[in-house]
Amino acid sequence: MTSFGNAPERTGRDLFGEASAEAFSDAGVDRADVESLYYGNFMGELAEHQGHQGPLMAEAAGIRAPATRYETACASSSAGVRQAVKDIRNGEADVLLVGGAERMTNLGTAGATEALAIAADDLWEVRQGMTFPGAYALMARAYFEQFGGTREDLAEIAVKNHEHALDNEQAQYNSEISVEQVLDAPMVSEPLGLYDSCPISDGAAAAVLVSDEYATDHDVDAPVAITGTGQGGDQLALHDREHLATSPAADEAAAEAYDEAGISAADVDLAEVHDCFTIAEVLAIESLGLYETGEGVDAATRGETAAGGENPVNLSGGLKAKGHPVGATGVGQIADVVKLLRGDHVNSDAVPDADVGVAHNAGGTVASAVVHVMEVRE
């Protein structure tokens, strides 16, 4: 990964060039062996007036191979990873480059908010003034009404994730916050305030995926494998859904990924989840089965999802503190899980015996969701 943060002067190709160079160096794989690039990006046409980004990013990565851009809102690069895993398993490829990037801060707050909003239903949501803070606020209110929970519980999630990001040099925010600061911050959309919301970010992430055969034949050090992948979907507009306080798309994605990996939620040692807003982390940990529906809202309050807790979540800082450059987020999560499992992440000491990690990436108001299971190879 690049560092996530505020870099309006950097282009998407510049960011992805850096991330892919680091990925090749980390993997010890020759660029010439890459058979395809699957690249995630959401708002390139709006932020950089640039479509057809696949070939452009292949050039930035220094490879000559077919390249395809994936767009699934905030889950764009995870969708690319899922396709790459399928291709390798099906014997269609042995070496694939996956990743994503987003340039957002050059648009400014209003411009980026408007660009992000196009992941909602334009006809029935965006034209009525809906933005994602408002959409997730509706989901939070529905959750509180159906299951309970308080703003203080959500504030504990923000505090925890900022704490996890303190020593993460790639995170956008390396600053502590308190529950009182979260509650006293300007309200964005009731009940979500400024500190309940992830930042606007620039950044890129990349990973090299290889088959078992390639790793063996080329003596590649690959201690972590993607053993399960799943994807789910839901109605795009909130008003078309049966429930607002749950995320069926993520339920489906998690169930598929667990089944493929041959594990259950009880086997998960750590998770990186899509906490674009604090309520989103609650929905995520329930969809992953780490908590029963309606029981995850106060997990951070009880200290269970913090470093050292029984279900550590977002040890990177999550989207909330690490940042959320949309097209890069999914592969960024995977990179963090891999490093945590390898033991070379800044917060690996919190999970010294971890063998199984999960990455949960959502698009829009979880109309799309992709889940990947990663395990330490025996």
pLDDT in tens, 168-191: 999 999 999 999 999 999 999 999
Burial class (CB in 10 A: 0-12, 13-18, 19+), 359: buried
Would 3 be classed as within a structural domain?
no
Please give the torsion angle defined by the CA atoms of residues 107, 170, 134 and 274, in that order, rounded to the nearest 10 degrees: 130
Would 4 be classed as within a structural domain?
no
Would 305 be classed as within a structural domain?
yes
Distance, CA of 279 to chain centre:
15
- For the chain of 378 residues, list the mean pLDDT of each consecutive stretch of 10: 97 98 97 98 97 98 98 98 98 98 97 95 95 97 98 98 98 98 97 98 98 97 97 97 96 98 98 98 98 98 97 98 98 98 97 97 98 95
Would 16 be classed as within a structural domain?
yes
Residues designated as active site: 74, 324
Distance of alpha carbon 8 from alpha carbon 177, whole angstroms: 25
If one counts the domains in the chain, the total is 1
pLDDT in tens, 147-162: 999 999 999 999 999 9
- Which residue range is the domain that position 311 belongs to? 12-376
Q: 155 φ, ψ to 5°? A: -60, -35
Would 199 be classed as within a structural domain?
yes
Would 244 be classed as within a structural domain?
yes
Measured CA distances, 83 to 2, 192, 207, 270, 358 (Å): 23, 35, 13, 24, 17
For position 359, which CATH number holds?
A: 3.40.47.10
Would 195 be classed as within a structural domain?
yes
Distance, CA of 276 to chain centre:
9
Would 276 be classed as within a structural domain?
yes
